[in-house]
Amino acid sequence: MTRCTLCERGEAFFLRPYSGESLCRKCFCQSIEMKVQAIISKYEMLKPDDSVAVAVSGGKDSVSLLHIMTKIEERFPKAALSATIVDEGINGYRDEAMKIAIENCDKLGVPYATVSFRDIFGHTLDEIVQKTKDAKLTPCSYCGVLRRRALNIGAKSVGADKIATAHNLDDETQTSLLNVIRGDPLRILRARPVSAPVHLDFVRRVKPLCEVPEREVALYAYTKRIAFQSAPCPYASRALRNDVRNMLNRLEEKHPGTKFTIFRSVQRIRNALDESRLSVELKSCDVCGEPTAGKVCQTCLILEDLRVA
């Protein structure tokens, strides 16, 4: 039996390749919780009296984040924690995930707000996919823009100061490489661990899992017996992202720590670009008044398309 490197008592069940540590279940879970706390401090994600809305989809990452944030919040009596659950309207998929999200909130005693595409935009994602099936854009393109807006509206409705999303280290490195591979590298400026205060109506986003590898989030969820939805979204077409994911996993296996190095490299490029004149400031959309980089926001452009379609 291999003993845990940290407590030297428990039986090791996980070898962390990039650090060499062998960890027992208890120390592993604690290490994840401490890591999240350290990430929050390092990037100054939250203030002690912030009201934080966790974006909970029901997947392993967001539900794990909710559990970890609940533990952390106990130590900050002036902070408030809630969940924002977005109902995109995907029959046979989202309803199941929402049920799981709500059960987790109830179990943890975390208040939650749900916002639905139908209520806010007048259409479910299923309807949008139907209406736009001849368009070039994928369902994910529509959903990404609208979900972002829905989250902002949901978080504002409960007076949240910050939205915490569950993007993990793998998500972040994949997205950065995808931006480069797709020819839109300056998008890395938008995907920071803490979003910039670009607009009064834009609730700032923080990513407390951004330096936690995906497999460790999954292992945390399994070890803690957290209920989550594991089915993938029926609309997800992640061909290129899957290629990049496999590529990064192969690299990480051969050269442990590679994902962290890539993450830090992207941070260095961001910091270097910050010294130039590239930081974005958002304006208010001419149509709906919500934050946007252009004159009319992407959400209103999509809604206008749907009106015509």
What tokens were used for 6?
């940290």
Smallest distance, Å, CB 106 to its own copies? 43
Among 77, 134, 276, 307, binds its own copies (CB under 8 A): 276
Alpha carbon 226 to its chain's center = 18
**How would DSSP label each residue in 260-309?**
HHHHHHHHHHHHHHHTTT-----EE-TTT--EESSSS-HHHHHHHHHHH-
State both tokens at 161. Answer: 């100061």
Q: CB of residue 209 vs its own copies: minimum separation in angstroms?
A: 21
For 294, the token pair is 């252009």
- Does 42 help bind its own copies (rule: CB under 8 A)? no
Q: How far apart are CA 103 and CA 151, in angstroms?
A: 20
Spatial CB neighbours of 86, under 8 Å, sequence gap ≥ 6: 55, 57, 114, 115, 116, 117, 147, 150, 151, 154
Q: How far is it, in rounded angstroms, from Cα 87 to Cα 73?
A: 26
Question: Binding its own copies by CB under 8 A: which of 42, 107, 255, 295?
Answer: 255
- Per CB under 8 A, the list member of 75, 254, 307, 308 interacting with its own copies is 254
- Examine residue 280 and tell whether it contacts its own copies (CB under 8 A): no
To its own copies, the closest distance from the beta carbon of 276 in angstroms equals: 3
Residue 65, burial from CB neighbour count under 10 angstroms (0-12, 13-18, 19+): buried
Q: Closest CB to its own copies among 101 and 266?
A: 266
17 binds its own copies (CB under 8 A): no
**119 vs 184 by CB, closer to its own copies:** 184
> Considering beta carbons, is residue 79 or 262 the nearer one to its own copies?
262
Q: Which position among 3, 107, 268, 295 is part of the footprint of its own copies (CB under 8 A)?
A: 268
152 or 179, CB closer to its own copies? 179
Site string for its own copies, 219-248 (x = CB under 8 A): ---------------------x--xx--x-
Number of residues this chain uses to bind its own copies (CB under 8 A) = 30
* CA separation for the pair 294, 280 (Å, rounded): 11
* CA nearest to 102, candidates 118, 85, 124: 85
Site for its own copies in 152-191 (CB under 8 A): 179-186
Q: Which of 4, 163, 262, 282 binds its own copies (CB under 8 A)?
A: 262
The answer to whether residues 102 and 109 touch, using CB atoms and an 8 Å cutoff, is: no
Could you give the 3-state DSSP secondary structure of residue 204? strand
The answer to whether residue 275 forms part of the interface with its own copies (CB under 8 A) is yes
Alpha-carbon distances of 259 from 65, 139, 169, 244, 247, rounded to whole Å: 20, 28, 7, 12, 11
CA distance 129 to 172: 27
- Closest approach of Cβ 25 to its own copies, in Å? 32
Window of 94-102, 109-117, 193-201, 270-278 that interacts with its own copies by CB under 8 A: 270-278
| Under rule CB under 8 A, residue 283 binds its own copies | no
At 35, which amino acid appears?
Answer: K
Q: Which of 107, 264, 283, 295 touches its own copies (CB under 8 A)?
A: 264
CB of 242 to its own copies, least distance (A): 10
Interacting residues with its own copies (CB under 8 A): 179-186, 240, 243-244, 247, 250-251, 254-255, 258, 261-262, 264-266, 268-269, 272-273, 275-278
